[in-house]
A and B are shown apart, each in its own frame.
Chain A
Amino acid sequence: MQQFAALLRKDQQPVRYLVVDDSVFARKNLIKMIELFGGEVAGEAGDGLTAIAEYNRSKPDIVLMDITMPQMEGIEAVERIVRQHGDARIVMVSSVGYQENILAALQKGAKHFVQKPVKPEVLYEILRYVLGDDPNAAAVPVALAGEHQI
C-alpha cells in the first residue's frame, strides 16, 4: 500500500502524460502509476513515429518514453520532438540503463532516465524533479491522490 501526494500543474489541473512503449502491459503498468500520482493520460503510443504524432495532437506535460521500439526508437523520437518543441519534458523509461544510453538520451533532450522495472517511488521523485523545472507545473505535490495498491 503506497500513498503519493498528487502532482498537479500550477493551474491545479492534473499533469497530462504521453506514455510511449511498444509493450501494452508496460504502458498499462506506467498508466497505473500515473493514476496513483493523480495524473491523466493524454495519449499512448507503441513506437517513436506514433509518439511524435501523439505529442503534436495531445501536447502533454510529460512524456514517458521507452528506448527500444519498432519503426523509430525512443532516442530518435526525443530528438525530433525536442527539435519541434523545445520545452518538451521527456523522461526515458528503459530496461537498458548503461551510461552511454543515458547520455545519448540526455544529449538529445531528455530530462531524466528511469530504469525498468520502474519503482513507483523512484518515478515519483523523478517526475517531481522534472515538473519542478516546468513553469506550468507545481514544484511540489499539493494534494493527496488517495490510497492505491500497486
Chain B
Amino acid sequence: MRMELIQPFINAADAVFAESLQAPTKIVDLTMDENIYRRKGVAALITIKGDIEGRVILDLAPEVAMRVAGHLAGSPMPESEQVVRETVCELANMVIGNSVTLLNDQGFRFKVFPPEIHMSEEGLGGNAETEAMVLCIETPCGQVYLNIAMHYLHRRRREQAAVPALD
C-alpha cells in the first residue's frame, strides 16, 4: 500500500465534505482490508487505469445521501432512488476529481472511469489480493465510507515479470 497514492484521496474526501457541508468533518476509523468489499449503503465505484491503477469506493447510507443533497440544494429534496444515486455519484466525482487533479499535476497519466453505482448485495471491486484502506468519515449528515486500493502499474509489471524467474 503506497500512502503517497492514498493520501490525495483521503485529503480530497475530507475537504470535499467539509467544504460542501460547511462544517468540520472527522476521520473516525481507518483500517486495512484485504477482503472483497461489502457495501454498507449506496456505493459508487470508480476505476482508475494508467501509470497508477486501482479503484475507489464511496459508500453512504441512502438517508445520509438525502441529507447531503438537501444541504447542497438549500432545501430538502424529494426522497427518491434517483436523487440518492445522483448524490452519491456527484460526491464521488468531487472526491475523485479533486484527488486526481493533484496526482495528474504530479505527472501521473491515467484514465478515470465514470462512477458505477452499486445497490445490490454482491461484493465490489477486487479479489483476495486487493489490499485496500477503508476509512469512515464522520460528517454532520452521517457517516461516509471510503475504500481505496491503488498501486503503481510499473510495480505490478515488475512483479508479474518476476514470476517466471521463480518457476
Contacts and interface: CB of A to CB of B under 8 A. Distances in A.
Interface of A: 23-26, 28-29, 32, 68, 94-100, 115-117, 119, 150
Shortest 5 CB-CB distances between A and B: which pairs?
Answer: A95-B97, A28-B73, A98-B104, A96-B97, A32-B74
30 contacts: A23-B87, A23-B90, A24-B73, A24-B77, A24-B83, A25-B77, A25-B86, A25-B87, A25-B90, A28-B72, A28-B73, A32-B74, A68-B114, A94-B97, A95-B90, A95-B96, A95-B97, A96-B97, A97-B97, A98-B104, A98-B105, A99-B104, A99-B105, A116-B93, A116-B94, A116-B98, A117-B16, A117-B20, A117-B94, A119-B19
B60 to A, nearest CB: 14
Given A25-B86, A25-B90, A117-B19, A97 B101 contact: yes
| Interface footprint category on B | 20 to 34
A53 B160 CA distance: 51
Contacts of B45: none
Nearest to B90: A23
B104 A24 contact: no
Contacts of A32: 73-74
B12 to A, nearest CB: 10
A95 B89 CA distance: 11
